[in-house]
Structure 1
Amino acid sequence: MSTESDIREFLASRRAKITPQQAGLPAYGGNRRVPGLRREEVALLAGVSIDYYVRLERGHLAGASEEVLDSVASALQLDDAERAHLYDLARAAAKRPARRTKRSRGPLPDSVVRVLDSMSDCPAFIRNGRLDVLATNPLCRALYSPLYADASREPVNIARFQFLDPAGREFFPEWEESVNTTVSLLRTEAGRAPGDSGLTGLIGELVTRSDEFRVAWAKHNVRLHRTGRKSFRHPVVGELTLDFDAMELPAQPGLTLTAYSSAPNTPDHDKLQLLAAWAATPETSVEQ
């Protein structure tokens, strides 16, 4: 899709989410023909002319100032991820360098791998913006063993596994939330790196082969994935829910280290210890 189409659909989808009451506007009449706010209402809230806002929503963000973008973001009540995405779309429209343009290339430094391996009590991995898993420690390799069942394709990709592998739905028990997270992360990365051919190819593959991905992609949701809880249904230890913390690596632009943990003396912690014992068994193959 073109940048103009992405801008148009993103702004229209955010506008549709806000009612006049939420925006502090009077709701005149009961026969509104559009969900959410009208264009003229967004223009009023943003302090720009109707004609100018219509031009923006048609995809012409290239000449918009930071003040205008901030006003539109405030009028649409965008969260931090959505506001950043709006700026990314404006950069793409103006053909200005995107955020974190210099992506890390090549193998990970040995020092980063050593840090990853030193996290022996919690599953941890490093991914890029396309959700390729570039490195794991042994415990995460055990946790993510279903992703490695097919050894023919590495690096493994979380989104490709989730939507195209029949085991994906079994591995992610909170399916709808997991789908929204995965697609939102890819949509966010598409705004950050519009020229990433690998990302474009992945999205094209998923849109073509997965109806669920196509529907979720059309929602234009974005998010910042920094901390939270995630559930898994592992073939050996069963269902467990872990806390996660995701940290960008400043020295490796575009890469994120994610670590899972659980509170001591909880069933999830017990299952994590059982997983560690299983992973440490010499005859155990985590690809099985």
Structure 2
Amino acid sequence: MTNSAHLNELGEFLKARRAELSPRMVGLPDPDGRRRVAGLRREEVAVLASVSTHHYTRLEQGRIAPSISALSALVRALRLNDEQRDHLFGLVGREANLPRRRAAQKVQPQLRTVLDDLTVTPAMILGRNLDVLAWNPMATALFNIDFTQIPERQRNYIRQLFTDPKMRTLYVDWENSARNAIALLRRCAAAQPDDLGLTTLVGELSVQDEQFCRWWDGRQIAPRTSGSKVFRHPVAGELALDWDVLSCEADSDQRLVVWIAEPDSRSHAGLRFLCSWAGKEPRAN
């Protein structure tokens, strides 16, 4: 059993860690940047950990012992590294059996070769949790995003869908695209339910965007791995494109996504125009 001394120490540890974090560090809004106390507020940690403020307050006061699920949520909410996580679990006599943060993925050479050969077709390589691992100049042109300006840990397709205003106007049916992306992300969660990167992503987007939070809780079934999208591009105009996915045998967590137009169509001509426009831009990766 966890004694009161350990619970008090747990509470002090939570308060100290909370004081070290800023809203920006955990993806929370902080319009004026003025706070009477350093760090996060209790209610903000509670939201990030998906517990009530009352429950979290009692944890900080050393009045209750957290469950394993609550500990896991606090690890995510407070951005604890492996040593801090082990210490947190040790304070309540638990062993931290959750997996460490997974190593960064490296693009498979086979997919890179195919990607580099696509000169008129927008394409990108997505990794686990829909992380953007690589892209071609046409993808940069189609999405109007300079991926090199996005920190590597934040290069994520679904993050861009919900946080970049340009994406909401680029897709003619943004809501359907966003819902489908969430369904794909939920399939990732089913395969790796304890992935720290995924739980962090879901936690941040749930706090930042009410629609994401509502649709994530909706448990939508994953869509097909191909389909059609209509883009309203600011330079090339309306583009009706089919998308498809090429899987990688060497790494099932990597896939090449392509957007193609019907030959001799208006959208095909639009892609060729976009290609000439993209050719004036520096290579993205």
Q: Same fold (TM over 0.5)?
A: yes
In the alignment, is residue 274 of structure 1 matched against residue 268 of structure 2? no
Amino acid at match of 2:203: G
TM-score (ref. length: structure 1): 0.58
Amino acid at match of 1:258: V
Q: Using a 3 Å threshold, how does the CA distance of structure 1 residues 142 and 177 change in structure 2: closer, same or farther?
A: same
The aligned length equals 182
SS in 1 for 2:262: coil
* 2:131 aligned residue: 132
Amino acid at match of 1:158: Y
Distance 2:268 2:229 in 1: 14
Distance 2:108 2:166 in 1: 32
Contact 1:104 1:254 in 2 (8 A): no
Distance 1:165 1:108 in 2: 25
* 1:231 aligned residue: 230
Contact 1:117 1:138 in 2 (8 A): no
SS in 2 for 1:112: helix
Amino acid at match of 2:143: Y
- Unaligned 5+ segments in structure 2 are 1-101
* 2:190 aligned residue: 191
In the alignment, is residue 201 of structure 1 matched against residue 206 of structure 2? no
Shift of 1:166: 2.0
SS in 1 for 2:115: helix
Amino acid at match of 1:116: L
Shift of 1:164: 1.7
Shift of 1:201: 0.4
Distance 1:105 1:250 in 2: 18
Contact 1:130 1:199 in 2 (8 A): yes
Q: Using a 3 Å threshold, how does the CA distance of structure 1 residues 130 and 106 change in structure 2: closer, same or farther?
A: closer
Contact 1:122 1:261 in 2 (8 A): yes
Shift of 1:223: 1.2
Distance 1:182 1:226 in 2: 11
TM-score (ref. length: structure 2): 0.59
Amino acid at match of 1:144: F
Contact 2:115 2:123 in 1 (8 A): yes
Contact 1:249 1:255 in 2 (8 A): yes
- CA-based RMSD of the aligned residues comes to 2.2
Q: Deviations over 1:213-232 (max 9, x none)?
A: 01111110121441110122
Distance 1:259 1:142 in 2: 13
Distance 1:230 1:104 in 2: 32
* 2:244 aligned residue: 245
Q: Deviations over 1:90-111 (max 9, x none)?
A: xxxxxxxxxxxxx885422444
* 2:117 aligned residue: 118
Q: Using a 3 Å threshold, how does the CA distance of structure 1 residues 108 and 150 change in structure 2: closer, same or farther?
A: closer
Contact 1:104 1:253 in 2 (8 A): no
Contact 1:226 1:247 in 2 (8 A): no
* 1:163 aligned residue: 162
* 1:153 aligned residue: 151
Shift of 1:234: 2.1
- Unaligned 5+ segments in structure 1 are 1-102
Q: Using a 3 Å threshold, how does the CA distance of structure 1 residues 250 and 139 change in structure 2: closer, same or farther?
A: same
Distance 1:184 1:116 in 2: 25
Shift of 1:286: 7.7
Amino acid at match of 1:265: D
Q: Using a 3 Å threshold, how does the CA distance of structure 1 residues 139 and 256 change in structure 2: closer, same or farther?
A: same
